[in-house]
């Protein structure tokens, strides 16, 4: 036995459907807190903490035994499966950017590129420009948006352009 993160390729569609039914059978969902509650014990499932970024835990995980293997599944995917009765086919986005807020109204199924647009960036100012995401490049201020470099003569204009076009900061 070994621990592994769940990937769609590891489980067949039938196994995913059986797991979704098992989740609905064994857990209740509290829509105010976004927590799953074990039907047997009546206690909220807290899950296991994922990796930390800047001192903040990112995602919570739940473990399931499937075919004599332990699979770790992100808690927001388990909540999605409980609520919809099936696992998502695309990525699940936390609308408010809080990766531990698993209320169903905060979750939506999106493509990978759309999920990246809603990403919250850390507020780490560039040491030269003093603004996050704004670099000084050959006397021009540069910011990167959706993989393309944009150049400006004013650093604040570059920062405003980046934030208005989708970059959001914590």
Longest CA–CA separation in the chain, Å: 65
Same domain, 49 and 132: no
Q: What is the pLDDT of residue 54?
A: 55
The C-alpha atoms of residue 61 and residue 72 are separated, in whole angstroms, by 6
Same domain, 129 and 60: no
Could you tell me if residue 69 is inside a domain?
A: yes
User: Closest by alpha carbon to 169, among 129, 128, 134?
Assistant: 134
Q: Is the pLDDT of residue 82 over 60?
A: yes
Q: Between 131 and 147, where is the model more confident? A: 131
Q: Which residues pair with 61 in a beta bridge?
A: 48, 74
The C-alpha atoms of residue 131 and residue 36 are separated, in whole angstroms, by 40
Q: What is the pLDDT of residues 89-145, one digit of tens each?
A: 898 888 877 777 889 998 999 888 777 766 666 667 788 888 877 888 888 888 877
How many domains does the chain contain in total? 2
Mean pLDDT of the chain: 78
Residue 50, token pair as written in the block: 């994922």
Could you tell me if residue 79 is inside a domain?
A: yes
Could you tell me if residue 115 is inside a domain?
A: no
Encode burial over 158-170: b for 16+ CB neighbours within 10 A, e otherwise: bbebbbeeebeee
Tokens 């352009």 correspond to what residue? Answer: 161
Decide the pairing of beta strands 168-169 and 120-121. Answer: parallel
Task: Indicate the pLDDT class of residue 5, thresholds 50, 70 and 90.
Answer: very low
Q: What is the pLDDT of residues 20-34, one digit of tens each?
A: 888 889 998 888 888
Task: Indicate the pLDDT class of residue 51, thresholds 50, 70 and 90.
Answer: low
Structural domain range at position 105: 3-109
């Amino acid at each position: 036995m070994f621990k592994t993160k769940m990937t769609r390729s590891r489980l067949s569609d039938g196994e995913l459907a059986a797991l979704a039914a098992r989740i609905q059978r064994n857990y209740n969902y509290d829509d105010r807190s976004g927590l799953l509650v074990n039907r047997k014990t009546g206690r909220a499932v807290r899950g296991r903490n994922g990796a930390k970024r800047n001192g903040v835990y990112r995602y919570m995980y739940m473990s399931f035994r499937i075919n004599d293997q332990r699979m770790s599944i992100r808690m927001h995917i388990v909540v999605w499966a409980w609520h919809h009765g099936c696992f998502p086919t695309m990525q699940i986005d936390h609308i408010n950017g809080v990766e531990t807020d698993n209320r169903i109204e905060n979750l939506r199924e999106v493509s990978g590129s759309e999920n990246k647009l809603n990403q919250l960036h850390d507020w780490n100012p560039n040491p030269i420009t003093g603004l996050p995401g704004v670099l000084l490049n050959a006397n021009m201020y540069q910011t990167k948006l959706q993989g393309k470099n944009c150049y400006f003569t004013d650093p604040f204009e570059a920062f405003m352009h980046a934030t208005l076009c989708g970059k959001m900061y914590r």
